[in-house]
């Protein structure tokens, strides 16, 4: 976890909304991201957790303008980039994908894959310079320059993810969305990739949005953690505060599923089981969206939406009972 965090936001969203039209419906939309405001400071890692389908990936991609926002605003270093042409910003903002094998073109060599963004952004003036830069990037991610002539299928899953990371680093980005970067990998190599991302952050002064469905992964790498439920941010706090003093019933549930190494403590802890499945984001529940599954729900919870408010310094949550 990086301790050298700047005071000013690098990336900021204000009431960001991303809806997708439902094909064949009459005006229905998947409300994937529904009014999210957050800021990520330079050098910070903001973890983003929540169940599959809660909108985390859509939020990350909308922050990169890979999707255009439906409404709301997006800022980079204080500049409004909600509607600007993105070419100048593409270099500064990159993404590492979940499934490395699907994100690497099998017909291209590793050197061509990593060299492609260098060509697109015209970052090398000669073939020799490009070859040297590809070698340097391979070294940064723990591979070697002889491997530039091989194809993705010749590498293990962990090595393929290293290639995806080298491709993201090629353009010297400042902000990287890490979208479940280790969940497709063997447990034995997950920590190697996390450690490498942490080292890279320190060496290259990177800022991360680290997306994961697994709060136990996110809490080790993140300075702060945001918890999403059905398109909304329901809690946001420093990693330490969220782990020791979770306020929202949904966050408490996510934490109660994390294994504890001490068997006595593990037995003493009760798991708050959620009822039912994640509701559809096409027609989310009224009031608090979590009320259909919340063990503490009161009648008012289905009628009015709780505000996302700061309860202690830097600790925000949206629940009527706090």
Residues making contact with ligand SF4 (CB under 6 A): 248-249, 288, 290-291, 294, 296-298, 301, 306, 319-321
Q: Is the CB of 65 or the CB of 315 nearer to ligand SF4?
A: 315
| CA pair distance 153, 113, nearest whole angstrom | 13
Q: Is the CB of 121 or the CB of 320 nearer to ligand SF4?
A: 320
Q: Is the CB of 5 or the CB of 321 nearer to ligand SF4?
A: 321
Q: Is the CB of 86 or the CB of 321 nearer to ligand SF4?
A: 321
Instruction: Output the CA–CA distances (angstroms, integers) from residue 198 to 267, 298, 317, in the order listed.
Output: 33, 42, 28
Q: Is the CB of 261 or the CB of 276 nearer to ligand SF4?
A: 276
157, two tokens: 């899953």
Q: How many CB atoms lie within 10 A of CB 74?
A: 22
Please, what is the minimum distance in Å from the beta carbon of residue 286 to ligand SF4?
11
| CA pair distance 220, 310, nearest whole angstrom | 23
| CA pair distance 182, 119, nearest whole angstrom | 28
Q: Is the CB of 100 or the CB of 281 nearer to ligand SF4?
A: 281
Exposed, middle or buried by CB within 10 Å (0-12, 13-18, 19+), for 128?
exposed
Q: Is the CB of 33 or the CB of 297 nearer to ligand SF4?
A: 297
Q: What is the largest CA-CA distance in the chain?
A: 68
Q: How many CB atoms lie within 10 A of CB 322?
A: 13
- Mapped onto helix, strand or coil, the DSSP state of residue 235 is strand
Please, what is the minimum distance in Å from the beta carbon of residue 209 to ligand SF4?
24
207 and 174 in contact (C-beta within 8 Å)?
yes
| CA pair distance 314, 303, nearest whole angstrom | 27
Please, what is the minimum distance in Å from the beta carbon of residue 29 to ligand SF4?
23
| CA pair distance 169, 155, nearest whole angstrom | 19
Which H or E run includes 48? strand 45-49
Q: Is the CB of 64 or the CB of 255 nearer to ligand SF4?
A: 255
Instruction: Output the CA–CA distances (angstroms, integers) from residue 168 to 24, 93, 173, in the order listed.
Output: 36, 9, 7
Please, what is the minimum distance in Å from the beta carbon of residue 298 to ligand SF4?
6
Q: How many CB atoms lie within 10 A of CB 246?
A: 22
Please, what is the minimum distance in Å from the beta carbon of residue 212 to ligand SF4?
22
Please, what is the minimum distance in Å from the beta carbon of residue 322 to ligand SF4?
7
Please, what is the minimum distance in Å from the beta carbon of residue 301 to ligand SF4?
3
């Amino acid at each position: 976890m990086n301790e050298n965090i700047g005071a000013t936001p690098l990336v900021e969203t204000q009431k960001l909304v991303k809806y997708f039209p439902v094909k064949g419906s009459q005006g229905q939309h998947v409300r994937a991201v529904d009014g999210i405001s957050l800021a990520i400071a330079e050098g910070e890692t903001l973890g983003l957790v929540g169940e599959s389908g809660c909108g985390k990936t859509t939020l990350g991609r909308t922050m990169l303008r890979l999707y255009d926002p439906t409404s709301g605003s997006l800022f980079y270093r204080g500049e409004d980039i909600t509607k600007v042409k993105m070419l100048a910003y593409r270099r500064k903002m990159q993404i590492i994908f979940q499934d490395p094998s699907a994100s690497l073109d099998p017909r291209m060599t590793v050197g061509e894959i990593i060299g492609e963004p260098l060509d697109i952004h015209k970052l090398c003036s000669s073939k020799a310079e490009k070859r040297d830069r590809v070698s340097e990037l391979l070294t940064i991610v723990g591979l070697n320059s002889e491997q530039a002539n091989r194809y993705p299928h010749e590498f293990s899953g962990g090595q393929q993810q290293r290639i995806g990371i080298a491709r993201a680093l090629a353009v010297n980005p400042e902000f990287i969305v890490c979208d479940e970067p280790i969940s497709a990998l063997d447990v034995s190599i997950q920590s190697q990739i996390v450690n490498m991302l942490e080292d890279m952050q320190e060496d290259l002064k990177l800022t991360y949005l680290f997306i994961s469905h697994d709060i136990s992964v996110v809490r080790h790498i993140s300075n702060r953690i945001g918890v999403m439920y059905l398109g909304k941010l329901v809690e946001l706090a420093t990693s330490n505060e969220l782990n020791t003093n979770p306020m929202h019933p949904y966050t408490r549930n996510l934490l109660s599923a994390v294994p504890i190494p001490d068997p006595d403590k593990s037995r003493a802890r009760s798991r708050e089981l959620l009822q039912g499945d994640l509701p559809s984001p096409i027609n989310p529940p009224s009031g608090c969206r979590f009320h259909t599954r919340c063990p503490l729900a009161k009648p008012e919870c289905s009628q009015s939406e709780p505000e996302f408010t700061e309860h202690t310094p830097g600790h925000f949550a949206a629940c009527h009972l706090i």
